[in-house]
Amino acid sequence: MPTPSENTLFGMGNPLLDISAVVDKDFLDKFGLKLNDQILAEEHHKALFEEIVQKNKVEYHAGGSTQNSVKIAQWMIQEPHKVATFFGCIGTDRFGEILKKKAEEAHVDAHYYEQNEEPTGTCAACITGDNRSLVANLAAANCYKKEKHLDLDSNWELVKKAKVYYIAGFFLTVSPESILKVAKHASENNKIFCMNLSAPFISQFFKEPLMKVMPYVDILFGNETEAATFAKELGFETDDIAEIAKKAQNLPKENTKRQRMVVFTQGKDDTVATVGEKVTRFPVLDIDQNDIVDTNGAGDAFVGGFLSSLVKEQAVEECIRAGHYSANVIIRRVGCTFPEKPDFQ
């Protein structure tokens, strides 16, 4: 089994500082939030960020979907450090400093594009029971510029070093041209490019950039809700998750040397994945309902575990087993956090 070297895994996305707090239903209603939804903050949500900090005992964690996943991949791998590279945009402020420190502690090789026009992005995780509603205020994360960062020789060298690439669909709202440049590089060099459907609103409102990238996607991740929305938007005319996976697998693809793999998680229900020509179901690890602390980050953690085995060139069954393990660890804790070392055999 090959040991991955530094910068084997490349991630690019929206680095956000997660502000998580337990709230009540009134708080959700006040800001028009739905259970288990992910949305981008609008004008009327601005007050939410101030209120959540004043009102409740909050926890701050380095977040952002892609950054979470590469951080968990690095945690699962342990050694060497800096197997994972991460690009994204932050502000020159206190929250930005926290993110830099947290990335360093997680042994991720983060190279942020820093600008001072917008503050570092935040994501309010409003937790009620075992549900969570996420409101992201991208701010600086929205300011990522291909020509100011990705195109710089020193940064592009890091992209070229990687063998596996992962970008959450959320980044389609920021810099689709950056995603395409990386995706085409992966495709032309027969490397593995992975993407996540991320949230229903991506398929609904960013379908055009999503479908521009799709021909370069080797592995597509998503959950059952995102899969259903994706199917609806593309006119698949089915709500059977296995059928949706198959149809997504068969969408046009540039690099024909690799068959596309589609992996859909369904919370406590089986994970569904296309393995070769067939669709296979993989049961998740059992967990007592009382042990679930926070499902925020479960999907990111699954991808992180999956990627940690993928960079070691392991079979899909192993990748999914690692994904199930890391998701199981994460949901027992607040935020996308983890113990010092994994206990994964």
Distance CA 329, CA 342 (A): 9
- 37: tokens are 């939804």
Active site residues: 300
Crossing angle of the two packed helices 316-330 and 298-310, in degrees rounded to 10: 140
* 3-state SS, one letter per residue, for the chain: CCCCCCCCEEEECCCEEEEEEECCHHHHHHCCCCCCCEEECCHHHHHHHHHHHHHCCCEEEEECHHHHHHHHHHHHHCCCCCCEEEEEEEECCHHHHHHHHHHHHCCCEEEEEEECCCCCCEEEEEEECCEEEEEEECHHHHHCCHHHHHCCHHHHHHHHHCCEEEEEHHHHHCCHHHHHHHHHHHHHCCCEEEEECCCHHHHHHCHHHHHHHHHHCCEEEEEHHHHHHHHHHCCCCCCCHHHHHHHHHCCCCCCCCCCCEEEEEECCEEEEEEECCEEEEECCCCCCHHHCCCCCCHHHHHHHHHHHHHCCCCCHHHHHHHHHHHHHHHCCCCCCCCCCCCCCC
